[in-house]
Structure 1
């Protein structure tokens, strides 16, 4: 290949690379958010767009699954976890800019669909009685192997002495949002889900709920962090999450907020 031809090829390659980089920069950053945030963060992202003209894309799912995907190179720019231990581990291994910020403490509730024979009873006595009478066919929680809300549901059931008796009837959601779908499907007597989901307009009308005592399980300390590849829009949204506007929305969905 002649010097001239090599120069032309190199020039085209540089242009293509620049175009790819520009396209990546122009794309809205992806926020990996725990599924208990499904409704709250969607509202916050919309308010952020209205106030700033900037946009983020939301990917909702299980905190444990997101942590694994980040280790495998998933192109998220912000990680909003339902359990801060996952962020501590990612930070230790060099995947995040810093240790992040606590943005909320979550709660769990018993949620029962309209017409269920169970009562929405945070003490779980209604569930205990129904189990003893053989009236439970399905009861939903998030998968405790990787979903923090499922882990806390398991802890609460262990505290109440119901974990072992409930085993044959458990239906596990991939995340707490799917657990809520299962609990309200009409094929289950109920489930344990995130308070934030129970308060959402979509789910509030589909049954009743009651808070499980906070001291029955480890706290759901929810932390967010910027990942190493975070750009300016991600940085702006991260800051916005700590604004009065965002905090007001989070409070409306039942989250306990850290002091500013």
Structure 2
């Protein structure tokens, strides 16, 4: 089965519509409910933060999750987002350079990459991917997943890890690309693949603990994932309030709970 066919049949593909997963935290009567574009790596953390924000302030936000590169394209084509939370600083800079941002971008979290696999996988996981190397050499590796490096920062870093360990060329026939890191995590942890390189924030979620395992990849193997956010032009009061809230100890504590480092 080719990669496209496999991805189309995967259960995870049902979670993705035009590259985004939408979370609504609003009611029809709200007048200022900003649309937020957020990297899929922060979905579980940001869902919790947005609920706490609503509880603390009475204000609501509407969040779309997807890959950072796709969001840049959407913003450049006029998508009505008011705040962009990227998985990598490069993408907020692209929006800012297009004169579509407001103010400076700020690090809200630092992402971490892990190798993850179902507990019944034939893949033995370790931080330096020795188990993956052995499985490749034996010819027994079936499928291995990462987010698409073309527009997903976690996919870019996964490719960087595989290149640094001399595995990138050899593993090409076995790779399955997720549209974003959330979809790649579904592939890696559901048993659809032998495993993958995904965000710690997703692999560590309670829903996966009984069926999957993960180990952190050493930071020296990839460029830091400094996840930045940027207010966009014509952003309203609630977007500004949420932007400030994401820099509070309350938000930082939630990010840390999901395995992120936090900006200073």
Which of 95, 104, 108 in structure 2 is aligned with 1:99? Answer: 104
Q: How does 1:20-35 map to 2 (within 5 A)?
A: 26-35=31-40
In the TM superposition, what is the alpha-carbon distance from 1:242 to its structure 2 partner? 0.5
Please state whether the residue corresponding to 1:118 is helix, strand or coil. Answer: coil
CA distance in 1, matches of 2:100, 2:120: 47
Please state whether the residue corresponding to 1:74 is helix, strand or coil. Answer: coil
Q: How does 1:44-193 map to 2 (within 5 A)?
A: 44-193=49-198
The question of whether the paired residues in 1 share the 8 Å contact of 2:116 and 2:197 is answered with yes
Counterpart of 2:199 in structure 1 is 194
Runs of at least 4 residues of structure 1 off by over 2 A?
203-206
Deviation string, structure 1 residues 106-130 (Cα, Å, up to 9, x no partner)? 1100001120011221110000000
The question of whether the paired residues in 2 share the 8 Å contact of 1:139 and 1:190 is answered with yes
In the TM superposition, what is the alpha-carbon distance from 1:105 to its structure 2 partner? 1.1
Question: Which runs of no fewer than 5 residues in structure 1 stay unpaired?
Answer: 1-22
CA distance in 1, matches of 2:162, 2:52: 37
Deviation string, structure 1 residues 169-197 (Cα, Å, up to 9, x no partner)? 00000000000111123231000000111
**What's the Cα RMSD here?**
1.3
Task: Name the structure where helix makes up a greater proportion of residues.
Answer: 1
Counterpart of 1:211 in structure 2 is 216
Deviation string, structure 1 residues 208-241 (Cα, Å, up to 9, x no partner)? 0001111111111110011002100111111100
Which of 22, 41, 44 in structure 1 is aligned with 2:46? Answer: 41
Counterpart of 2:249 in structure 1 is 244
Moved more, 204-213 or 138-147: 204-213
CA distance in 2, matches of 1:27, 1:239: 16
Please state whether the residue corresponding to 2:123 is helix, strand or coil. Answer: coil
Counterpart of 1:14 in structure 2 is none
Please state whether the residue corresponding to 1:59 is helix, strand or coil. Answer: strand
In the TM superposition, what is the alpha-carbon distance from 1:25 to its structure 2 partner? 7.7
TM-score, normalised to structure 2, is 0.87
CA distance in 1, matches of 2:209, 2:135: 23
CA distance in 1, matches of 2:164, 2:103: 35
Task: Name the structure where strand makes up a greater proportion of residues.
Answer: 2
Please state whether the residue corresponding to 1:26 is helix, strand or coil. Answer: coil
Question: Which runs of no fewer than 5 residues in structure 2 stay unpaired?
Answer: 1-27
Please state whether the residue corresponding to 2:103 is helix, strand or coil. Answer: coil
Please state whether the residue corresponding to 1:109 is helix, strand or coil. Answer: strand
The question of whether the paired residues in 2 share the 8 Å contact of 1:67 and 1:86 is answered with yes
Counterpart of 1:16 in structure 2 is none
